[in-house]
Amino acid sequence: MLYIHNLLQLQLQLTFRVQSGQTDLSHYNIISGHQLPEQIIICLLDQASHSGNIRKNPFNFKHLNISEASIVVNGVHEPAEAYKLDIANGDYIDLYTDFLLNTGIGDEDRDCGITEREFIGGSFLLVFDRSKHKCNRYHRHPHDSGTIDINIRTRQNLASTITVLVYATYSSEIVIDDTFAVNLTKTF
């Protein structure tokens, strides 16, 4: 008998600061290697919150009035057309819908506890499903390799220095064969 158990690992891949006055939050070669992640989650927050200011909420992920967002995998944007947003005028529903789909909630009779209002009010997460069929890891797919960049632009100059957090999820397997030999297929 062969036993296979799938594992999912979420890693804080990178944190970086963007100084006040900037509009381009892009960062290049954030991830590279023989296995690229199946999902990427990007959070934006005040640098003071991230560095431990007790008067700031470290879980207040802001939208910062971004105007464009995508990841770039081996030179190709995901999604194919970068998200174009005008949050102040209510043009963000496609991003919220994709947030639900990319976290596995969109087609289920459940929710993740983040309403549309909460999404833009402090729970703003950019989530990218990188699985081949956009199935949010429901099926297993071969991994791809290469590099990933992030492309984020804001409508106005940043009022304060921010920290960008980039999380990535990777899959692996534990395989136990008939002789009870245990193998970990760790490809990240």
**What is the Cα–Cα distance from 169 to 157, expressed in whole angstroms?**
31
> DSSP H helical segments within 64-159, as ranges?
93-102, 116-120
For residues 26 and 152, is the Cβ–Cβ distance under 8 A?
A: yes
Provide, rounded to the nearest whole percent, the portion of the chain with pLDDT above 70. Answer: 89
**139 — pLDDT class (breaks 50, 70, 90):** low
Sole residue written with tokens 């199946």: 38
How big is the CA angle at 24 (ends 160 and 32), to the nearest 5 degrees?
115
Tell me the pLDDT of the chain averaged across its residues. 86
Per-residue pLDDT tens digits for 110-131:
667 888 899 999 999 999 988 7
**What is the Cα–Cα distance from 144 to 35, expressed in whole angstroms?**
6
pTM of structure? 0.85
Q: What is the pLDDT of residue 188?
A: 44
Closest CA to 159 of 16, 22, 2: 22
In this predicted structure, the answer to whether residue 155 has a pLDDT above a threshold of 80 is: yes
Q: What is the pLDDT of residue 172?
A: 78
Handedness of CA 118, 120, 123, 126 (dihedral sign): positive
In this predicted structure, the answer to whether residue 134 has a pLDDT above a threshold of 70 is: no
In this predicted structure, the answer to whether residue 86 has a pLDDT above a threshold of 60 is: yes
**135 — pLDDT class (breaks 50, 70, 90):** low
Q: What is the pLDDT of residue 110?
A: 65
